[in-house]
Chains A and B, each alone.
Chain A
Amino acid sequence: MPTIDDFHAWPDELGRFGNYGGSYVAETLMAPLAELTEAYLRLRKDPEFIAELDRDLKYYVGRPSPIYHAERLSQHVGGARILLKREDLNHTGAHKINNTVGQALVAKRMGKPRIIAETGAGQHGVASATVAARLGLKCVVYMGAVDIERQKMNVYRMKLLGAEVVPVTSGSKTLKDALNEAMRDWVTNVADTFYMIGTVAGPHPYPLMVRDFNAIVGREARAQMLQDYGRLPDALTACVGGGSNAIGLFHEFLNDRDVRIVGAEAAGDGIETGHHAASLAAGRPGVLHGNRTYVLCDDNGQITETHSVSAGLDYPGVGPEHAFLKDAGRAEYVGVTDDEALQAFHLLARTEGILAALESSHAVAQAIKLAREYPKDGLVLCNLSGRGDKDVHTIAAREGVEV
């Protein structure tokens, strides 16, 4: 078993991060998961695969993304320097493409002609539809009916890219139900279908594979920090729904014990109101969507409905690696409310000319809080995981503006 001293050694061969992770799925899926695990563990060491992935990340996604010093925002806050890792500048406008480009290459190598995906905000759906179009694969995206309503533009983008968007009307009609429905599709069509999970959750090997594909964010960032600032940041922050952009930034820094790591969860109307999606800050260990992790559920074990202004954070579980990092004390997870995220959205827009996604606005709000804790020469690195164009209608509606 790997030791806790080396955070890069996890998960173990059963896909466990300490007490979390694993493969909690029905028997029918054990074979396709084993097939995927075998293929991926081989590919992640295959120089040809790595070279192909690097080419796609450079020429298709547009990597590396810069680290931008938000000077006017930092001045306004009056604390440490706030640095933004600009994942919003990637093709399709978010970090999600890092993962889908990688999984698409895996699907292609495995000879699977059909891709399915779940999506909340629609960013992963768009990123999946994008890579499917590029490789000529059929793509079906499951999306909660509630999310379809609040993310109309992304639904249309997916359709323009040739994907079929299937509304999910069971349960709370959001991301968790879309994931259930995608699993049901996969179990029915295991022979020809590749399930492209969009976050670091799900059964093994997904938390490992999705983390690997997003870890490019932290690898670039660490090198960029050393080159541009001559040192590592004092603190990192990123928003955490399922946690893929956060683990992407955090992972490379996990063994740099002097770097403080803070995940910003969606506190919705406030954790004390019960209307939130802060699984780590306010949940308990349980089993959901194929892995053991922190979940939001009642005393009967029923998963509870979550609330966040941002569809992408509206999820009652979280990736098992985050659960592990929380228990190990390596990362802190705190709540950021809807109002705080919106304030940060506006402040960033007015001071820097950047419209951040509502998800990423939670991270910006947390970066602002962190900046106040450090002196002026301090460095706070925030993952600006996506751009906010998709959220313009949500923000307008919330503020009573007709667009």
Chain B
Amino acid sequence: MSRIDRRFAALKAASRTGLIPFVTAGDPSPEHMVTLMHALVEGGADLIELGVPFSDPMADGLVIQHASERAIAKGVGIGEVLGWVAAFRQRDAETPIVLMGYLNPVEIHGYARFAQEAVQAGVDGVLLVDCPLEEAAVLQPLRDAGLQQILLAAPTTAPVRMERLCEAAEGFLYYVSFAGITGAGQLSTQDIAARVAGVRASAKVPVAVGFGIRDAQSAKEIAGFADAVVIGSALVARLAGASQPDDIAGRAKDFLQPIRAALDAH
């Protein structure tokens, strides 16, 4: 059983909703990235999504675009990201880590090389936004090495296709709550609830809901019908500009703790 599968099994056993924070690797500070990752866990994270910065993040809103630009300007690439994961693993062997990003950095790094190095560093899964199921054959070396491929499902996904996604999903299925980019939009919880219920009924894996969740209130609304919630842009915005390790860790924990409490009170 993979680290991701174990974590979701434990959440289910405890009747808890998972909390998955997303941060852009290298932002706000490459030096204190590992400190930030531990702070996320202390703040209540069940799984960490680490964004690998890319110059052309087509699915992201301004907050994550700017975080990516800042990280790239500081020279952050896959090598650095994997280094932080390996350093994090020295103190935390249990919290699953999913790398989220776009295909080109992985393609240029080399699929086989990436797979081997990522597993060695302690990465558990990848979510490559611009690699839909149809193109996923290129990721075979990653699967062979034991990295789980996290797939996206969206409100626009047609029923037949949704069945295929549910069938192919590994780790968890990431349900995009609305048609749009990260950090945008207002949630219509009722609509999402109905759609997610359908997905959960046919998916073999847990369903996490992301996009548009920004605080304890919105997280709590989603918690009623999802196995986990993903929070990205609002957290990245909160961290932006911090430079000292205490400040970075403090902001992360202050942001996550009320959300954790709201999820657990549910």
Which positions in A face B, CB cutoff 8 Å? Answer: 14, 22-32, 34, 170-171, 176-177, 180, 183-184, 187-188, 190-191, 284-290, 295, 297, 299-303
A–B Cβ pairs within 8 angstroms, 14 of them: A24-B130, A31-B154, A180-B57, A188-B181, A188-B184, A188-B185, A286-B107, A288-B56, A290-B130, A301-B78, A301-B106, A301-B109, A302-B77, A303-B104
The answer to whether B59 touches A187 (Cβ under 8 A) is yes
Quick one: closest A residue to B181, CB to CB? A184
The answer to whether B181 touches A299 (Cβ under 8 A) is no
The answer to whether A23 touches B134 (Cβ under 8 A) is yes
Cβ-neighbour of A26 out of B77, B109, B130 (below 8 A): B130
**Docked pose: A32 CA to B179 CA in angstroms:** 11
Q: Which residues of chain B are near A176, meaning CB under 8 Å?
A: 56
The answer to whether A27 touches B151 (Cβ under 8 A) is yes
The answer to whether B135 touches A301 (Cβ under 8 A) is no
The answer to whether A170 touches B69 (Cβ under 8 A) is yes
**Docked pose: A289 CA to B154 CA in angstroms:** 19
**Docked pose: A27 CA to B177 CA in angstroms:** 12
Q: Which residues of chain B are near A286, meaning CB under 8 Å?
A: 104, 107-108
Q: Which residues of chain B are near A183, meaning CB under 8 Å?
A: 58
* Interface positions of B from 136 to 194, Cβ below 8 Å from A: 151-158, 161, 165, 176, 179-181, 184-185
Quick one: closest A residue to B62, CB to CB? A170
Assuming the contacts A170-B62, A288-B104, asked whether A300 and B176 have C-beta atoms less than 8 A apart, the reply is: no
Q: Which residues of chain A are near B132, meaning CB under 8 Å?
A: 23-27, 30
The answer to whether A301 touches B58 (Cβ under 8 A) is no
The answer to whether A24 touches B156 (Cβ under 8 A) is no
4 more CB-based (< 8 A) A-B contacts, given A27-B151, A299-B77: A28-B154, A287-B103, A287-B104, A302-B72
**Docked pose: A191 CA to B153 CA in angstroms:** 17
B29 sits at the interface (CB 8 A) = no
Which positions in B face A, CB cutoff 8 Å? Answer: 53-59, 61-62, 65-66, 69, 72, 76-79, 102-109, 129-132, 134-135, 151-158, 161, 165, 176, 179-181, 184-185
The answer to whether B130 touches A28 (Cβ under 8 A) is no
**Docked pose: A31 CA to B59 CA in angstroms:** 15
The answer to whether B129 touches A303 (Cβ under 8 A) is no
The answer to whether B69 touches A301 (Cβ under 8 A) is no
The answer to whether A187 touches B181 (Cβ under 8 A) is yes
The answer to whether A302 touches B105 (Cβ under 8 A) is yes
The 8 A-B pairs with the shortest beta carbon distances in the complex, nearest first, are: A300-B77, A301-B105, A301-B108, A31-B156, A27-B152, A28-B154, A302-B55, A188-B180
The answer to whether A180 touches B58 (Cβ under 8 A) is yes
Q: Which residues of chain A are near B181, meaning CB under 8 Å?
A: 184, 187-188
Q: How far is the CB of B49 from chain A (nearest CB, A)?
A: 15
Q: How far is the CB of B111 from chain A (nearest CB, A)?
A: 12
- Between A183, A284, A300, the greatest number of chain B beta carbons within 10 A of the residue's beta carbon is seen for A300
The answer to whether B157 touches A170 (Cβ under 8 A) is no
**Docked pose: A29 CA to B181 CA in angstroms:** 11
The answer to whether B135 touches A32 (Cβ under 8 A) is no
The answer to whether A184 touches B153 (Cβ under 8 A) is no
Q: Which residues of chain A are near B61, meaning CB under 8 Å?
A: 184
Assuming the contacts A24-B103, A30-B157, asked whether A303 and B56 have C-beta atoms less than 8 A apart, the reply is: yes
Cβ-neighbour of B108 out of A23, A27, A191, A299 (below 8 A): A299
**Docked pose: A310 CA to B69 CA in angstroms:** 25
The answer to whether A180 touches B154 (Cβ under 8 A) is no
Assuming the contacts A183-B58, A190-B179, asked whether A14 and B134 have C-beta atoms less than 8 A apart, the reply is: yes
Q: Which residues of chain B are near A22, meaning CB under 8 Å?
A: 134-135
Q: How far is the CB of B187 from chain A (nearest CB, A)?
A: 14
**Docked pose: A23 CA to B132 CA in angstroms:** 8
**Docked pose: A31 CA to B157 CA in angstroms:** 6
The answer to whether B130 touches A30 (Cβ under 8 A) is no
Assuming the contacts A286-B104, A287-B104, A303-B104, asked whether A30 and B54 have C-beta atoms less than 8 A apart, the reply is: no
The answer to whether B104 touches A295 (Cβ under 8 A) is yes
Q: Which residues of chain B are near A28, meaning CB under 8 Å?
A: 59, 152, 154-156, 176, 179-180
Q: How far is the CB of A51 from chain B (nearest CB, A)?
A: 32
**Docked pose: A302 CA to B76 CA in angstroms:** 10
**Docked pose: A26 CA to B210 CA in angstroms:** 14
Q: How far is the CB of B36 from chain A (nearest CB, A)?
A: 21
Q: How far is the CB of A35 from chain B (nearest CB, A)?
A: 9
Q: How far is the CB of A395 from chain B (nearest CB, A)?
A: 30
Q: Which residues of chain B are near A303, meaning CB under 8 Å?
A: 55-56, 104
Q: How far is the CB of B222 from chain A (nearest CB, A)?
A: 18
